[in-house]
Chain A
Amino acid sequence: MNAVSLEKVTKRYDSFDAVSSLTMEIKEGAVFGLLGPNGAGKTTTLRMIVRILLPDQGSVRVLGEPLSERTQDLIGYLPEERGLYRQMRLLEILRFLGALKGLSEAESERRARVWLDRLGLGDRVNYEVHSLSRGMQQKIQFIAAIIHRPRLVILDEPFTGLDPVNAALIKDVMLELRNQGATIILSTHRMDQVEQMCDSICLMNKGQKLLDGDLKAIKKSYGNNTVRMEFIGDQAFLQLPDIIERINPYGEMVDIKLRPGADAQQILKSAVERGVRVHRFELIEPPLNDIFIEKVSERNA
């Protein structure tokens, strides 16, 4: 069964279509990445799945059911725009939000305590929200999104503003939920996180789908046309316009995109001729980052 299926969904605003005729399926138990540049329609799409917005055309189904208050309770949602009631205590706010998702208040409070302990906020259950740092507030919102053990968890940029320790903590919880059978939709601009975590993706731009499917299959379809190199010496050896289409430097490391049909060995040869010391030379699948940039700029051009 699909956790989410959208069929020809359109959401129209006055002057433009935020989402136009989007068809997309998300398999149950997957970690799904919804990608796209700013203003691509990701948040609008997520809001329609959560039933905050209603589509103008098309149908949305969650776990096989048309949207209703019942499906809302099956979903946990961490919106990108964040905030909490400032004057409420942590335990109160989590008890309230859990109850709003269908838990009894006692059960909601019990689970809130467990999660606060686990995310390192156990000693602050009676603190008011405004006394917490942004990162701590974000953890509270994350708990609010998962406290009722939703079968579908939607996280819009869950890692922004978190330090690496907390980001890892959240990531562990996400993968744990996935292992327990939950489906996770991740909307983010961080391609490295998508590559680490997602099974499948959908790339959107201007309200339309550019590509979607299994992440590995997508990368494979682009072939091994990228060389990842580490070296010491002058970069001048990379001036091979017939072979190299684009260079993405990452500090110590460069990703080199080859022209179709070009031979990677030419680069190695050029390096040896110029006396550059090569530490790493690897033929890899294209990074998602490159696919993203290529696809989006191709459409915008």
Chain B
Amino acid sequence: MRKIWLIFKREYITRVRTKAFVLGTLALPLLSIAILVISILLSGGTSRNSTRIAIVDEVGGVGGAVEKALREGKSSAQLKPEVVQVVQVVEHPTPETEAYLNSQVMQNELDGILVLPKGLLKGTAAAQFHARGMRTAALMGPIERAVNAAIIARRLSAEGKSAGAMKNVFQVVQVQLVNASSQKEEDPSETNFAVAIVAGMVLYMTLIVYGMSTMHSVMEEKTTRMVEILVSSIKPFDLLTGKIVSVGAVALTQYLIWALTIGVLFASAASVTALVRPGAATPGINLSPMLLVYLVVFFLAGYFLYSALYAAAGAIVSNDEEARQAQMPLTLLILCSFMLFNVILNNPNSTTSVILSMTPFLSPILMTLRVAMQTPPLWQIVLALGFSIATTVYTIRISARIYRVGILMYGKRPSLKELRRWLRYS
């Protein structure tokens, strides 16, 4: 154990000290600060504090009601009511006023004109929203709701009924999406989708980047012949263990730093928002603790599996050229998981998705994706984890045998047939 610890420590310290690690670790927090600031700046949709519109009321007496409804309109994720500011309500417009308003839009003084035509009450004409560019598309929902509310109230009062009394009649019915397996309410927003993609990507990147890193570390020891001194003091299996655990710890260190910075950033997002742009919406993310646990567990299973393979690849090669060839099949294997992202994202509970998420070598990434999308039944998670661990243990045993022989073999890269023979060496 003491020797494994020494290997671990040396590898860890040497790695954390490198420029690549320091720069790589700093890059992401800096990037996320930039993203946070930009998303706050963009959250209003325009450079001004609110969207300014004018209402042209050809019906007469409805414009004020629409303005009121817009002000009182329920806040939604996309738009806060105060963000739409009605600058002007014009009743029975003349061609001159219309031309003036149009020129205001063209000069960017106004973001749009809402036209309520005469036939609106009878339903023979549609309200129109004249706007420049598509950035105001997000306004359409609230505007539609506000116009509807105002027109319906007007029709009701024409029938002699109070709009207030009929409020319950027009209460909008909501339909919720419910996950059949867990009977939990599903958040119809796209947060899960994003979390799943980010989790999958992080895993995918880690396996490749840190897998290659392990491979190069093995290669360095082999090509500098350092390994012969090392294995005269420590068993090859222990050396491999210390190295893989150490590289994994470096990866986790990096993620911990990232997670902390991002966590602190989002926790302080409100104050950052106030600082950068007062009054804008606060961006945020939601991660369930269970998801984090699964993420770490599948990360570990996938990491040990692939880094053992990469270590074996590093042990059988003697130069960079051979290394590129040897790591190809492994990178393709990981790429395979990446290519199957779509299948899982489209339907995380289809039979194909379930089978793929249990397939050895694909399981670590694809199961994480499913877990992030919507929690699959526990038995599936446990089964996938079981398969993953079994594959990992078996792979490590084979890799360790190849590693043990390979690190002392210089010269030509062995063929698959030779590799099989290596497994039998005592």
**B235 lies within 8 A of chain A by Cβ:** yes
- The size class of the interface chain A forms with chain B is 20 to 34
Question: Does B176 make an interface contact (CB < 8 A)?
Answer: no
Interface pair A100/B220, CB less than 8 Å apart: no
Given contacts A47-B408, A81-B410, A96-B10, A52 and B232 within 8 Å (CB-CB)? yes
Are A99 and B6 CB-contacts (below 8 A) given A81-B225, A83-B225, A88-B14? yes
Contacts known (A53-B408, A84-B224); A77 close to B232, Cβ less than 8 A: yes
Stretch of A68-76, A166-174, A175-183, A206-214 contacting B (4+ beta carbons < 8 Å): A68-76
A14 is an interface residue with CB less than 8 A from chain B: yes
B window 222-261: CB within 8 A of A: 223-226, 228-235
Q: Is B426 positioned at the interface, with any CB of A under 8 Å from its CB? A: yes
Interface string of B389-425 (1 = CB under 8 A from A): 0000000000000000000101000000010010000
Q: Which residue in chain B gives the minimum CB-CB distance to A56? A: B426
Asked whether, in the complex, the Cβ of B229 is within 8 Å of the Cβ of A97, the reply is yes
**Considering the chains assembled together, what is the distance between the CA atoms of A77 and B231 in angstroms?**
10
The answer to whether A83 and B232 have CB atoms under 8 Å apart is: no
Q: Which residues A56-82 have CB closer than 8 A to chain B? A: 56, 69, 72-73, 75, 77, 79, 81-82
Chain B residues whose CB sits within 8 angstroms of the CB of A53 once the complex forms: 408
Contact of A75 among B228, B232, B410, B426 (CB under 8 A): B232
- Chain B residues with CB below 8 A from A50, complex form: 232
Given contacts A52-B232, A53-B408, A77-B232, contact A100 B3 (CB under 8 A): yes
Query: Which residue of A73, A79, A97 is within 8 Å of B228 (Cβ)?
Result: A79
Contact for A85 among B220, B228, B232, B235, CB less than 8 A: B220
Interface of B is mostly: helix
Within the assembled complex, what's the spacing in Å between the Cα atoms of A79 and B226? 9
Could you say which residues of chain A place their CB within 8 Å of the CB of B7?
100
Residue A160 interfacial (CB < 8 Å): no
Nearest chain B residue, comparing its CB with the CB of A14 = B421
- For the complex, give the distance between the alpha carbons of A77 and B232 in Å: 7
Q: Which of A55, A99, A100, A141 gathers most chain B CB within 10 Å? A: A100
Would you call A87 an interface residue if the criterion is a C-beta within 8 Å of the partner chain's C-beta atoms?
Answer: yes
CB distance from B250 to the nearest CB of A (A): 15
Are the CB atoms of A96 and B225 closer together than 8 Å? no
Chain B nearest CB from A157 CB (Å) reads 13
Residue from B225, B233, B234 within 8 A of A82 (CB atoms): B225
Tell me if A54 is interfacial: C-beta within 8 Å of chain B: yes
- Contacting residues, chain A, for B10 (C-beta < 8 A): 96
Q: Verify B224–A85 contact, CB threshold 8 A.
A: yes
Q: Which chain A residues border B232 with CB–CB below 8 Å?
A: 50-52, 72, 75, 77, 79
How far, in Å, is B303 (CB) from chain A's closest CB? 24
Question: Chain A: which residue is nearest B3 at the CB level?
Answer: A100
B426 contacts A54, C-beta separation under 8 Å? yes
Contacts of B231 in A (CB 8 A): 52
- Does A73 lie within 8 Å of B408, measured CB to CB? no
- Tell me whether A101 and B233 are in contact in the complex, defined as CB-CB below 8 angstroms, given that A52-B228, A83-B226, A84-B224 are known contacts: yes
Decide: A69 and B230 in contact? CB cutoff 8 A. Answer: no
Q: Contacts A73-B233, A77-B229: A86 and B408 contacting too (C-beta < 8 A)?
A: no
Question: Restricting to A121-144, which residues have a CB under 8 Å from any CB of B?
Answer: 141, 144
Cβ B6 vs Cβ A96 within 8 A: yes
A100, B225: Cβ atoms closer than 8 Å: no
Do the beta carbons of A144 and B229 come within 8 Å of each other?
A: yes
Residues of the A chain whose Cβ atoms lie less than 8 Å from the Cβ of B426:
54-56
Nearest A residue to B421 by beta-carbon distance?
A14
Q: What separation, in Å, do the CA atoms of A72 and B239 have in the docked complex? A: 15
Q: Which of A52, A56, A72, A85 contacts B226 (CB 8 A)?
A: A85
Hey, which chain B residues are within 8 Å of A101, CB to CB?
Answer: 233
Residues of A near B228 (CB, < 8 A) are 52, 77, 79, 81
Q: Contacts A52-B228, A79-B225; is A87 near B14 (CB within 8 Å)? A: yes
Contact A100 B6 (CB under 8 A): yes
Interface string of A191-220 (1 = CB under 8 A from B): 000000000000000000000000000000
Selected from A14, A56, A88, A100, the residue in CB contact (under 8 A) with B233 is: A100
A47–B404 Cα distance when bound, in Å, is 13
Question: B229 and A86: CB pair below 8 A?
Answer: no
Residue numbers in B under 8 Å from A96 (CB-CB): 6, 10
Q: Which of A51, A54, A99, A100 lies in contact with B230, CB distance below 8 A?
A: A100
Q: Closest CB-CB distance, B213 to chain A, in whole Å?
A: 14
CA distance A50 to B7 in the complex (A): 19
- Checking B224, B234, B410, B421 against A100 with a beta-carbon cut-off of 8 angstroms, the contacting residue is B234
Cβ-closest chain B residue relative to A86: B224
Query: How many angstroms between the C-alpha atoms of A47 and B6 in the bound complex?
Result: 23
Considering the chains assembled together, what is the distance between the CA atoms of A86 and B14 in angstroms?
Answer: 11
Q: A82-B225, A96-B6 are in contact. Are A72 and B408 (CB under 8 A)?
A: no
Return the CB mask of A93-104 against B: 1 if under 8 Å, else 0: 000110111000
Do A52 and B220 have beta carbons less than 8 Å apart? no
List the A side residues contacting B224 at CB < 8 Å: 83-86
- Is A84 a contact of B408 with CB atoms below 8 Å? no
Sample of 21 A–B contacts (CB below 8 Å): A47-B408, A51-B232, A52-B408, A73-B233, A77-B229, A81-B225, A81-B228, A83-B224, A83-B225, A84-B224, A84-B226, A86-B220, A87-B14, A88-B14, A96-B10, A97-B233, A99-B6, A100-B234, A101-B233, A141-B229, A144-B229
11 further interface pairs, Cβ-Cβ under 8 Å (given A14-B421, A56-B426, A100-B230)? A47-B408, A50-B232, A51-B232, A52-B232, A69-B235, A72-B233, A73-B233, A81-B225, A84-B226, A85-B14, A100-B7
The 3 closest A-B pairs by CB, nearest first: A83-B224, A83-B225, A81-B225
**Residues of A bordering B, CB below 8 Å:** 14, 47, 50-56, 69, 72-73, 75, 77, 79, 81-88, 96-97, 99-101, 141, 144
